[in-house]
Each structure stands twice: as structure tokens, then as C-alpha cells.
Structure 1
Amino acid sequence: MAMTLPLLLISMLLFCVLFFGIGFILNMLLRMTWLMAFIYPIIALLIISDAKFSEYFTNTSDSFSSLGYNIVHLAPADIMILLSGLLGAILSGLTMRILRAKGYRMF
């Protein structure tokens, strides 16, 4: 099934908002500005991969080779959606820095 343009735009917006919100909450709770931006690539690789998390430790070579195959064969729409999630994670860090610079202590 081909992805239509409205579905792509809604998916990109949802991923951006989702990871912005998660990053914002993590930043408020843990006071680590760029935590979500560092964790997001791991989450994205887990989304892309077909292997279970434990297989990366028990069957390392096969799981990483299948991950590499899945990354190479991603559709452009999937790449755009995942990059919008990364943008949301980065924007949450930038928002926190701006709010802290303006004197909001809870952030």
C-alpha cells in the first residue's frame, strides 16, 4: 500500500509532537537537556529492526546484519517520518534551553 501525502504529513507531525512531548517531560523530570536527542537513535533502530532486543546480545551478527539490511531498504517516507521524530527530540532540548535562559526554574 502506497503512502498518500496527507498520511505522510500527519505521520510526520505525530512523530514530531510525540518525541517533543516525551523529550520535554524527560527534561523536566531529569533535568538533562539533550537526553532524548541521544536516546532517539536507539529508539529509531528498535523501530526499524525486526529482531528482539535480547537477540542483539545472544545472536549478534545475524541481528545486526538484518538491521543493516532493514536500514538500507527503508522507504523515503519512513526516513522522513523518523527524521521528524528526531527533529521533535532536538526541538524539545532547544525549548528547554530557551526556557531556562528566560528564568523558568522548574525547567
Structure 2
Amino acid sequence: MQMTIFILPISMLLFFVLFFGIGFILNMLLRMSWIMAVIYPFITILIIDKVRFIEYFNNTKDSFSSLWTEITSLAIADVLILSSGMAGAIVAGIVIKMLRNRGYRMF
């Protein structure tokens, strides 16, 4: 599918908001400020790669070779969208830290 100039910023905003929200809720419930920023690279690998997760243990060399091929063949739009998701996860950690430092208790 061809990505137009209108779809790219909307997709970036949606990924930012989605992972900010998920990260904020996880940080609130688990009391670990950076949990989503740590989990996000694994989620990104699951989004990018077409190899089943168990194959990373059964057929390690071919699985990581396939992953590297998929990562290097990403378009700039895909990299921007995935990066905005990571930015959302990081901003969620920063916001939780700021709220806790200012005395707000979340759960």
C-alpha cells in the first residue's frame, strides 16, 4: 500500500498515543516507570518479523538472519512510525516519573 503524506503523520500520532497510553497504564499498575520502554523493542520485533517466536530458540541463526533482513528493508515511513511508538513509551515513563516526584500516587 502506498503511504501518502496525510497517512504518515496520522499513523505516527496514533502509534505515539497508543504506546503512551499502554505505557502509562502499565507504569501505573506495575510501579515500574520504564517497563514499556523495555518491552517496546520486543513488540517491534514481533511487528516486523514474520518468524514465529519459538523459531528464535529452535532455529536461531536463520531467525536472526531473517530479522536483520526485515529490519534493513524497512521503509523510512515504517521507521518513523515505529520510532514514534518508542517515543510514546519513553514519554509515558517521563510523565509517570514527574507525577510521582510531584506527589501524585497512582494506585
1:1-107 paired onto structure 2 within 5 Å = 1-106=1-106
Deviation at 1:46, TM superposition (A): 1.1
**TM superposition shift of 1:42:** 0.9
Deviation >4 Å, runs of 4+: none
* Distance (Å, rounded) in 2 between the aligned partners of 1:106 and 1:47: 30
**Could you state the TM-score of these two structures normalised by the residue count of structure 1?**
0.96
Question: How far does residue 59 in structure 1 lie from its aligned partner after superposition?
Answer: 1.2
Deviation of the 1:19 alpha carbon: 0.4
Deviation at 1:41, TM superposition (A): 0.7
TM-score using structure 2 length? 0.96
Q: Could you say what the CA RMSD is over the residues aligned between the two structures, in angstroms?
A: 0.9
1:30 is displaced (CA, Å) by 0.4
Distance in 1 between residues matched to 2:105 and 2:7, nearest whole Å? 39
Q: Structure 2 CA distance, aligned partners of 1:106 and 1:71?
A: 37
Structure 1 residue 2 displacement after superposition: 1.9
Q: Percent identity?
A: 64
Structure 1 stretches lacking a partner, 5+ long: none
Unaligned runs of 5+ in 2: none
Aligned length: 107
Distance 1:74 1:83 in 2: 12
How far apart, CA to CA, are the structure 1 residues paired with 2:67 and 2:85?
19
Any idea what SS the aligned residue of 1:87 has?
helix
Between the aligned partners of 2:76 and 2:97, the Cα distance in structure 1 is 32
